[in-house]
Structure formats: C-alpha cells, structure tokens
Amino acid sequence: MAKTTERTRSGDFEAAFNRIHKALKQMVKNTDNDAFVELLYTGYKDHSLVRKYKEELHQFAKLRNAIVHEKVDVDYYIAEPHQEVVDRMEEIAGHFEKPQSAVSIATSPAFYYYEDANLKDVLKIINKFDYIRFPIYDEEGHYKALLTSKEIIQWMARQLEKNVISLEDVQLKELLTDGKTHHVDFVPESASIFEVEELFESYYKKGQKLQAVIITENGRNFETPKGIITPWDLLDSDITGH
C-alpha cells in the first residue's frame, strides 16, 4: 500500500509538472528550445507569471529529473516528493492554466462620464466612493481622456486665484482643455491579471507611465467600462507573493 501511495504521489507531481511545461510552451514563443528550464529563463524576461514562480519551478525541475530519470520501471519511482510539494505543483499548474482574472482586482463598478456631464456629479461620487480616476467619453461614445482627482483640485485652485469658484453647470470638458493627457489602455474582460501587469511594464520600458487600464467586453475604447485597474490595484493584489 505504501508503494502505491508513493507512486501516486510521484505520478501526480510529474503530471502537474507536465501541465506547467505544456503551458510554458504555449506562452513562450521566442525560443527554439522547449526544454523546461530554457522556457523558464526565456519566459522570465517577458512574462510576470513566469517571474513569480521561476525560482520554485527551477528547484522543482531538479526534483522532476530525479523522479523521472531515476525511474526503475514505468510505474515505479525511486525519488518521492512530499505531499506538500505535490500540492504546490498542482496549485502552480492551476495558475498557469487559468490565471487570476483582471476583473477580479479591478475597481468596479467603473464610473465614467461624457464630456458634457457636470463636475458636481463627479464630486458626489468622489465623496461617496473615494474614487480618483474617471474615464471621459465624447458625444459619440469614444474614450477621450482620463479625469483624475488631482486635475479637479488643480482646476479648483485656479478658480480660487480668481477669487471665484462656482460648481454650478461646470462641465467636465472645461477641465480637459489644458491638453494634458494620461496614458490609458484597454483590455477585454477575459484578460488575466498577469496580462495587465505586463501591459503596465511595457509602458514602463518605454519611459511612460500607464495611469489606468480600462476593462471592456472586447477591449475597445468605445465600449462600456466594466472596471478600472491602476498600479495600486496590482500592488494590493499581491501577485508577486505566494
């Protein structure tokens, strides 16, 4: 009975390892070598999911070699992983096969406005929900700009310099006339949290700061926002921890 348990444990470990290897082959395209460790070190450069688990998987690759290459028979393994190791491999395999969705960490609902909406309506939402970023759309329903609480405060400060501040009938387009734009991108609701992180990192590599990622049904800038992700949302989600 003990041997059967050990064989099953080793077999489960190998099966989970193979699931991860298959996912790596599908994920990492810019390599001619599909060996597990080679895929790890190539994928590390461009995929945050690989970076998250690289060190663990490198160690598990050594264990896998001991289990597989020192196998006495088809179903008989010399090396035996602990159950905790098997559980961890299966957990990681699950993350590779189905990463956490971006929607799960997004600020939702996403409050968005048309450029002719009144500022006082946005202020009510800020007061009630403590939101600080709002997508603004033109009259045709296309994304135009991202309005932040910082810009609202700056606009109010300019009004105070004139010794007058009135919020009645102030339209949002009046706050968007200084030509300042924020980098914003769009992803479909099927996107994973790691795809969004890679999007933020791609902007960073170009020397640009991505202020927000807006989630829509198909990732188009004329679709209704379903959620908004900021760099802070990524930090709060603890995607770099175990």
- State the chain's mean pLDDT as an integer: 85
Q: What does the block give as tokens for 26?
A: 């599908």
**For residue 165, how far is the Cα from the chain centroid?**
40
Q: Taking the CB of residue 2, how many other CB atoms lie within 10 A of it?
A: 7
Q: What does the block give as tokens for 200?
A: 């933020």
Q: What is the DSSP letter of 108?
A: S
Q: What does the block give as tokens for 119?
A: 């500022």
Q: What is the DSSP letter of 228?
A: E
- The tens digit of pLDDT for each residue in 193-216 reads 888 988 998 898 899 999 999 999
**What's the pTM value of the predicted model, to 2 decimals?**
0.71
Q: Smallest Cα–Cα separation from 152: which of 175, 178, 125, 128?
A: 175
CB-side exposure of 44: number of CA atoms within 13 Å? 14
- The tens digit of pLDDT for each residue in 109-166 reads 899 999 999 999 999 999 998 888 999 999 999 999 999 998 899 888 888 877 767 7
Rounded CA separation 194/92 (Å):
14
- The tens digit of pLDDT for each residue in 131-144 reads 889 999 999 999 99
What CATH architecture does domain 104-236 belong to?
Roll (3.10)
Q: Domain extents for the chain?
A: 2-95, 104-236
